[in-house]
Structure 1
Amino acid sequence: MAHRTRTPNEGLGRLLEQAKWSRSQFALIINRMGADAGMDLRYDQSAVSHWVRGTLPNPPVRRLIIEAFSRKLHRTVTHAEAGLPPAARDQAAPGIDTVEEIVDLGRADMDPSRRGVMAAGLFSAALSVPLFSGTARAADAPPGEPGRTTRIGAGQVESVRAMTDRIADILDELGGAHARPMAAAFLVNTVVPWLRAEATEKVRKAMWSAASDLVYLTGWMAMYERDHGTAQTYYLKALKLADRAEDHVTYCRTLRGMSLQASNLGYGPLALRLADSAAEAAPKAGPRLQAFLTGQQAHAASMVGDHRRARSLLAATESALMRADNRRESIGGYDQSAYAFHISHVLYEGKDLPGSITALQHALRVQPANERQGRVHFNAVLAQRQLEHGHLDAACASWGRFLDDYEHVSSARGDEHFATMRRRLSPHRKARSVRQLSPRVGAVALLKA
């Protein structure tokens, strides 16, 4: 039986205006769609008025409402946009929650000005991570996009993977603030309709896998934009997509990303649990992926004080890298620079500050030239540790190199490093090296204002 909510449904009212439907017309459309689905519905204008005022239609009717607007507006309309809670999981189409939530996340991400009002919630240190089941079937995927007869093939899958690579390149060169809205727009406008298009079982699984990679990358960017609740939500959606695709590799890469997020926030035990789960989820990982996973395990182990295990995992990481080829991967890539950065983390957690600094300097020497965003982070961390070690002049030199790249990168993580630099240099403002750096700092501050 229908029941009332406390507030009018403004979302449904907006959709009626966008569709240019009267309430009587909408009632007739829902009745007709219900008949096509074997439902005997006899709604009229007054029923629609009740919905707009806040009455909730029964769960099967909610899905008809979503489909009606999706057909009319030629885009994916979600339950949240229509102001309607989705049907209970056992009544909804399989996978519908994952896809709809990706659409809602992506639409907010497409407009950076809306991110402050996103209802993604805070980072949870006690979340339940879905297990990899590997039992999904293509037939379980959501039905085709309402009103569409689109059929996709291998070409569309390759388009998603190619676009993911391009976005990763933009991320490296210009920062997440530029790349993340692009990823979100591509997800919402292109990938979601393809997820719901007709396809063979092989192509459908490949599309779910490619989409999982892109969702993971978008979460990675949200993480480095300090939007941790949104990042965690993206990661959970990537896990579900990877599971549906039976893609063990993307699943474990995503768990590893979640471990890195936890370690960045200081949750050592959670970081280790996620890193161990990632390694366990990829028993047949190639050597580069193995290094990618064990390097993060080493970092997390050092955070909880298990330095013996951390050193053992670093040795396994080095061995795996020696067996890896030179192929660059936009997602899940791991190289000598990343390995040296993990060494630095482990040494720092073990109170070996000089060794940590030396490892960071090596990481910068071997870092690929096109990874500007990576240099921003590496140089900023190096400068902070050099200052902690009492080497002010060296820290200022590292912060100077940080500024070389930071002025070209739009990134919340870079902004945070810039603020940290100004705060930590303030007590030393009379020192010669700080006075020499100050005009540059002021110029960049004006540029970023």
Structure 2
Amino acid sequence: MPAKTPNAHLADHLAEAGISRGGLAHRINTLAVRRGLPAPRFNHASVARWLRGEQPRGRTPDLIAEVLSVPLGRTVTRADIGMRSALPVADLGLSFESDLNTAVVAASDLYATDAHRRATLTRSAYTSVGFVVPAIRWMTAPAADLMDRAGSRRVGGANIIAIREVTSTFRRLDNMFGGGYARSTVVQYLADEVSPLLRHGAYTADVGRELFSAAAEMTLLAGWMAFDLEQHPIAQRYLIQALRLAQAGGDVALGAETLAAMSCQAGYLGEGADAVDMARAAHRSARRSGSAALMAETLVTEAHGHALTGDQRACAVALTGAETAFDRSRPGGEPAWLQYFDGAYLSAKTGRALLDASDAPRSADAMRLSLDMKGGFERGHVFNLALLAGALLDSGRVDEGCAIALHAIESADGIASERVNGELAAVAGRLERYGDFAPAREALAALPTARRGGRGRRATR
């Protein structure tokens, strides 16, 4: 049997923290009991074995890292102390951790795995119940109580501005060219620039809240881009971690936005009841935030969930509530990341809900209004054209529907979005019903073969 390699990383951290071997063992035993784990019986000899290279089992490496984080004033991870990752990839990022240090490690591990071993994440699965516990913990957790923190990386206003500017830039690119255009760059930035600030940052409580809020916003973007690529297991994990980071930053509005994104993903995957639950949780948070536009967004998202479950009355009630809330919104008075939500966007979401509620004529009316949208949302423009084409075709207005479908197909050129592909595939399915009609054949001929094989799910954003 080959000799074990001494764990120099653990030795260095132990020396820096100024803790003896026996002292470390005692603190781990105490912490394990506080965490509700079976009481261990570690002693100085146990620590000596770890220093010689033995890998402790179960949650012990997490306990060691947490114990060392306190005297060092920064988040210490398993990797920092030379120990292997705890979670199998199947579970990575799915937990809304109550302990902040553990939550930071969970987010950091997700970024690093996505940046360097993404293929392992794509082999995992989306789970329909995966959002339930995070949503409950978001709703019931006490208010965030960040404190001043010591660490090896000083965090100031410039760091926060940089994260928000990078997020804003890549959000624009996502809206223009789709999630496949630059998602890997966003993930790498999270892993290389944001994660070290979360783990090792020294900041005041006020700066800390801004840091976690900014990190949550970028994490949400990375999740949304994965969703756009139909990388649903990855997207789900990012949305959960974005929600946890928003909680740490006390950002109620961003938490509501994240829950709304969870609702969108559930609805996209056909989980109508889950979409309603997430939208309602989002609406409660939106009300707490005081953002009327955000309340409108959560209500129209709920309406789509009701449409998927076949509850047309509840869908109509939610749509009316969304319009009422939007009328109370104040241009310029909403969060910067919510500026996309305007009248045209509300019309698009309304049209989608009506189409799935089998009200194609009213859906077409709403989708026409959605085309009066701002510039810079090329992907959204394709979605809206495709939905309008679908509503017109379902209404029997075939000539106009074929013309709009052709416009959507031509407008999709250069957009890297699996949701766009699925949207166009749904239109193609409708066009094929009119295969003996020349305009329908023309539109179908213009659709690249690669964009005909999607599952035909309609886009949600």
TM-score range, shorter chain: 0.7 to 0.9
1:373 to partner: Cα distance? 0.9
1:156 and 2:163 aligned? no
Q: Tell me which of 412, 415, 418 is aligned to 1:406.
A: 412
Quote the residue 1:225 is aligned against. 229
Asked if the contact 2:382/2:420 (under 8 Å) is kept, the reply is: yes
Could you give the per-residue CA deviations for residues 340-399 of structure 1, whole angstroms, max 9, x where no partner exists?
Answer: 1232134334432111122112212x1112100111222222333333334443333222
Query: Amino acid of the residue matched to residue 169 of structure 1?
Result: R
1:319 to partner: Cα distance? 3.0
User: CA 1:319/1:423 → structure 2, altered by over 3 Å: closer, same or farther?
Assistant: closer
Asked if the contact 1:152/1:194 (under 8 Å) is kept, the reply is: yes
Quote the residue 1:137 is aligned against. 145
Could you give the per-residue CA deviations for residues 48-91 of structure 1, whole angstroms, max 9, x where no partner exists?
Answer: 5654xx97794378539999xxxxxxx987489953427xxxxx
Mean Cα deviation higher: 316-325 or 157-166? 316-325
**CA distance in structure 2 between the partners assigned to 1:26 and 1:343 by the alignment:** 59
1:36 and 2:18 aligned? yes
Query: Amino acid of the residue matched to residue 355 of structure 2?
Result: Y
Quote the residue 1:59 is aligned against. 61
Query: Amino acid of the residue matched to residue 163 of structure 1?
Result: V
SS of the counterpart of 1:214?
helix
Mean Cα deviation higher: 154-163 or 169-178? 154-163
1:283 and 2:291 aligned? no
Q: Tell me which of 344, 359, 368 is aligned to 2:351.
A: 344
1:306 to partner: Cα distance? 4.2
User: CA 1:154/1:324 → structure 2, altered by over 3 Å: closer, same or farther?
Assistant: same
Query: Amino acid of the residue matched to residue 137 of structure 1?
Result: D
1:373 and 2:379 aligned? yes
Query: Amino acid of the residue matched to residue 248 of structure 1?
Result: V
1:433 to partner: Cα distance? 1.4
Counterparts in 2 of 1:29-428, with a 5 A limit? 29=11, 33=15, 36-40=18-22, 48=52, 50-51=54-55, 58-59=60-61, 63=65, 78=79, 82-85=83-86, 94-110=99-115, 114-115=118-119, 117-118=121-122, 120-125=124-129, 127-128=132-133, 129=135, 130-132=137-139, 133-139=141-147, 144=151, 148=152, 150-196=153-199, 197-281=201-285, 282-327=287-332, 331-332=337-338, 333-364=340-371, 366-426=372-432, 428=434
User: CA 1:371/1:257 → structure 2, altered by over 3 Å: closer, same or farther?
Assistant: same
Query: Amino acid of the residue matched to residue 228 of structure 1?
Result: H
Query: Amino acid of the residue matched to residue 85 of structure 1?
Result: A
User: CA 1:265/1:155 → structure 2, altered by over 3 Å: closer, same or farther?
Assistant: same
**CA distance in structure 2 between the partners assigned to 1:78 and 1:159 by the alignment:** 26
**CA distance in structure 2 between the partners assigned to 1:39 and 1:266 by the alignment:** 54
User: CA 1:293/1:210 → structure 2, altered by over 3 Å: closer, same or farther?
Assistant: same
What is the TM-score normalised by the length of structure 1? Answer: 0.77
Mean Cα deviation higher: 159-168 or 97-106? 97-106
Query: Amino acid of the residue matched to residue 257 of structure 2?
Result: R
SS of the counterpart of 1:288?
helix
1:277 to partner: Cα distance? 1.4
Query: Amino acid of the residue matched to residue 412 of structure 2?
Result: Y
**CA distance in structure 1 between the partners assigned to 2:224 and 2:9 by the alignment:** 43
User: CA 1:312/1:418 → structure 2, altered by over 3 Å: closer, same or farther?
Assistant: closer
SS of the counterpart of 1:283?
helix
Query: Amino acid of the residue matched to residue 379 of structure 1?
Result: L
1:157 to partner: Cα distance? 1.4
SS of the counterpart of 2:376?
coil
**CA distance in structure 2 between the partners assigned to 1:251 and 1:61 by the alignment:** 29
User: CA 1:204/1:159 → structure 2, altered by over 3 Å: closer, same or farther?
Assistant: same
1:421 to partner: Cα distance? 4.4
Q: Which runs of 5+ in 1 are unaligned?
A: 1-7, 14-21, 68-74, 87-91
User: CA 1:369/1:412 → structure 2, altered by over 3 Å: closer, same or farther?
Assistant: same
Could you give the per-residue CA deviations for residues 151-201 of structure 1, whole angstroms, max 9, x where no partner exists?
Answer: 111221122222211111011111101232222122111111222310011
Q: Which runs of 5+ in 2 are unaligned?
A: 23-43, 70-75, 88-96, 453-461
User: CA 1:44/1:283 → structure 2, altered by over 3 Å: closer, same or farther?
Assistant: closer
Question: What percentage of residue pairs aligned between the two structures are identical?
Answer: 22
User: CA 1:80/1:217 → structure 2, altered by over 3 Å: closer, same or farther?
Assistant: farther
**CA distance in structure 2 between the partners assigned to 1:114 and 1:284 by the alignment:** 35
**CA distance in structure 1 between the partners assigned to 2:163 and 2:421 by the alignment:** 30
User: CA 1:80/1:315 → structure 2, altered by over 3 Å: closer, same or farther?
Assistant: farther
Figure out how many residues of one structure are paired with residues of the other and give that number. Answer: 406
**CA distance in structure 2 between the partners assigned to 1:160 and 1:176 by the alignment:** 19
**CA distance in structure 2 between the partners assigned to 1:175 and 1:340 by the alignment:** 21
Query: Amino acid of the residue matched to residue 99 of structure 1?
Result: V
**CA distance in structure 2 between the partners assigned to 1:259 and 1:380 by the alignment:** 21
1:23 and 2:5 aligned? yes
Asked if the contact 1:23/1:49 (under 8 Å) is kept, the reply is: yes
Asked if the contact 2:13/2:68 (under 8 Å) is kept, the reply is: no
Asked if the contact 1:345/1:356 (under 8 Å) is kept, the reply is: yes
**CA distance in structure 1 between the partners assigned to 2:59 and 2:362 by the alignment:** 64
1:310 to partner: Cα distance? 3.3
What is the TM-score normalised by the length of structure 2? Answer: 0.75
**CA distance in structure 1 between the partners assigned to 2:325 and 2:63 by the alignment:** 54
What root-mean-square deviation, in Å, do the aligned CA atoms of Structure 1 and Structure 2 show? 3.8
